[in-house]
Every structure is written in structure tokens, then in C-alpha cells.
Amino acid sequence: MRAVVCRSYGAPEDLVCDEVADPVPGPGQVLVRVRAAAVNFPDVLLIAGKYQIKIPVPFIPGSELAGEVVATGGGAPFHPGQHVSATTATGAFAEQVALDAGAVSLVPEGVDFASAAAFGVTYRTAYHALRSVAEVGEGDWVVVLGAAGGVGLAAVDLAVAMKARVLAAASSPEKLALCWRRGAEATVDYEREDLKTRIRELTGDAARVVIDPVGGEYSEPALRALTRGGTFVTLGYAAGTIPSIPLNLVLLKGITICGMEIRTFMGDRADEAARDMQELSQMFAAGTIRPYIGARYPLSDAPAALRLVAERKVFGKVVIDIA
């Protein structure tokens, strides 16, 4: 089968599309014919050897996919022909992948492969942050940084669905226009406007939550704009810089700063994670939320797809179509 292979840590352009051995499902596993795979920022870090965990090379990158069941190992509760989606540490950028049955879910009827592939990681991350970590309520002002990216736009979608008031912050008028279309009530172009001042003006100094998947130079101004007792949730550092926050700001304003990383959240807060997943699945199946797919590439162009995500030029999600 064809697969994208990381043979040594480096840039997206160092990946190769090659023929590799077909996977064989073991006991309790499902063999999936991949039809679509989504690109996430951690994929970029993994191939560079810069993620929290290091995958030994060579490996097939890609953590999010949807496709058709081809075969199963003993004990797997699926059958050939079923449409499924899955998240996995690696292996999605390939024509086939063998997965533990517990990582596989049925795709709701009427949902296409690209949407199913693009849904899992970013929406789970955003919903855990909003629902369980920040405990967002109806009418709360939620500020989303990097609001047109994968996690950012998922946070916008979900906060709107939760009947919160959303201020979307992004780096261009085009990105902010997308956030308007997805339901944001207010927007800030943080490359052209003073972020702290505009957040305070637009929310009436009532911003209760900041969702930050990007880090960098805009984290501190957003934190400074929080109302007293607000919550700042840090999800990642796509900007490439981990900000240093003066702790006196936390003390003086009674702010709570929380970190949320999906890989550990599932184990550390299993009951909340299960509840969130059930609620999220219901919203997805009902059509309340759908990922926005801003770009699609063939498998052979996976390096270009990863480069787009690495440079933060993506609108919503990037999907790799695997014929």
C-alpha cells in the first residue's frame, strides 16, 4: 500500500510517499481502508521530533482518519463495509491502517468521510476545554485566539452551540470573516489592533474565558483583558513561542490558568471525558456542528498539507483525500 513515511525527524518536505507492507489486524483490531485523513499541528511536531512524546522513526504520521472497515481480528465488534472514524497517535496518512477496536467509532449516517476525519481531535480538544476545564455557561464571553485554525474554529463553533458569546481573535480580515460566518459575535485582528484594549471594549470588560491554542505574543494581552476571576486555558503553542506570564497578574485579578492536553485528559478526568464525548457525539450526529474544511490535498501532497498547518495559513481543517 502507499503511505507517507517519516524516516528521519525534520520538516514536512523530508517526508516520502512510498510503498510499504499492508497492515494485518491482530486480535481485537480493525483494518480500515482510509478515505480521508485530517492534519493537526501535533503531526508537524511529531515529524520534527519536538512533540511531548517522541515516536521512533520510521513511522507513518497522521492521527485522524475516516474510511471503511476491510477486515477485523478476533473479537472486534465491526464488520466489513462499515464507515468508521478513528484517532490514533500515528498511521493515518496511509491507504490502510490497523487499529484497536476501542479507538474506532461508527460514522453517523449522512456524514462524509472528510467531515468525519476532521472532527475528532480538534472538537474533542475544544469541547473538553470549554465544557470541563473552563465550565463555560450560557451568556459567558469567550475569547478564542487563533480562531480560524483547527482548534480555534472548533472552539468558536462549540461556544456558539453552548450559547456563549464569542470574541474571535485572528490575524487577517479573511480569517475573521470566516469566524463571523461561524457565529462569532465580535472579532479582533490582533496584528492590526490592540488586543487587550479591544477585548475589554467589545465585551464590556466581561471576558470570562480565554481559549488559547497558539501561545506567542498575544497570550499575555488576552490574559490581561480577562475580567476578575476569569479563566485562561492554554492548549498549545502553534505560534512557536511559549509565553511567560507574570504571576502578579494572576494574583491581582484572581485569574485561573489551566492547561489541557487531550492525551492525558482522557486518563486524568475519565468521567468528564466520557460525558463530553457523549454530548459531542450527539451534537455531531444531529448536525449541530460540522468542521470547516479549508483545504484538501491528495496523499502524494501530504508534505504541502503539513506545511500549510505548520505556517498557520490554514482556515479550519486540512484534509488529505486518499482514493
Decide if 241 contacts 215 (C-beta within 8 A). Answer: yes
Cα–Cα distance measured from residue 232 to residue 259, given in angstroms and rounded to the nearest whole number: 8
The two most distant CA atoms of the chain are separated, in Å, by 60
Cα–Cα distance measured from residue 26 to residue 75, given in angstroms and rounded to the nearest whole number: 10
Query: What is the model's pLDDT at position 240?
Result: 81
Q: What sign has the CA pseudo-torsion 13, 14, 20, 26?
A: negative
Domain 2-107+292-321 of CATH type 3.90.180.10: yes
Cα–Cα distance measured from residue 118 to residue 154, given in angstroms and rounded to the nearest whole number: 10
Query: What is the model's pLDDT at position 30?
Result: 96
Q: Which residue has the cell 496518512?
A: 93
Query: What is the model's pLDDT at position 239?
Result: 81
Domain layout of the chain by residue ranges? 2-107+292-321, 124-263
What separation in angstroms does the CA of 78 have from each of 97, 99, 106, 142?
A: 15, 12, 9, 40
Query: What is the model's pLDDT at position 218?
Result: 96
Cα–Cα distance measured from residue 138 to residue 251, given in angstroms and rounded to the nearest whole number: 27
Query: What is the model's pLDDT at position 313?
Result: 87
**Topology, domain 124-263:** Rossmann fold (3.40.50)
- Write out the chain's pLDDT in tens, 323 residues: 999 999 999 999 999 999 999 999 999 999 999 999 999 989 999 999 998 889 999 999 999 999 999 999 888 899 999 999 999 999 999 999 999 999 999 999 999 999 999 998 899 999 999 999 999 999 999 999 999 999 999 999 999 999 999 999 999 999 999 999 999 999 999 999 999 999 999 999 999 999 999 999 999 999 999 999 999 999 988 888 999 999 999 999 999 999 998 889 988 999 999 999 999 999 999 999 999 999 999 999 999 999 999 988 889 999 999 97
Query: What is the model's pLDDT at position 312?
Result: 83
Query: What is the model's pLDDT at position 16?
Result: 95
Query: What is the model's pLDDT at position 266?
Result: 85
Decide if 124 contacts 277 (C-beta within 8 A). Answer: yes
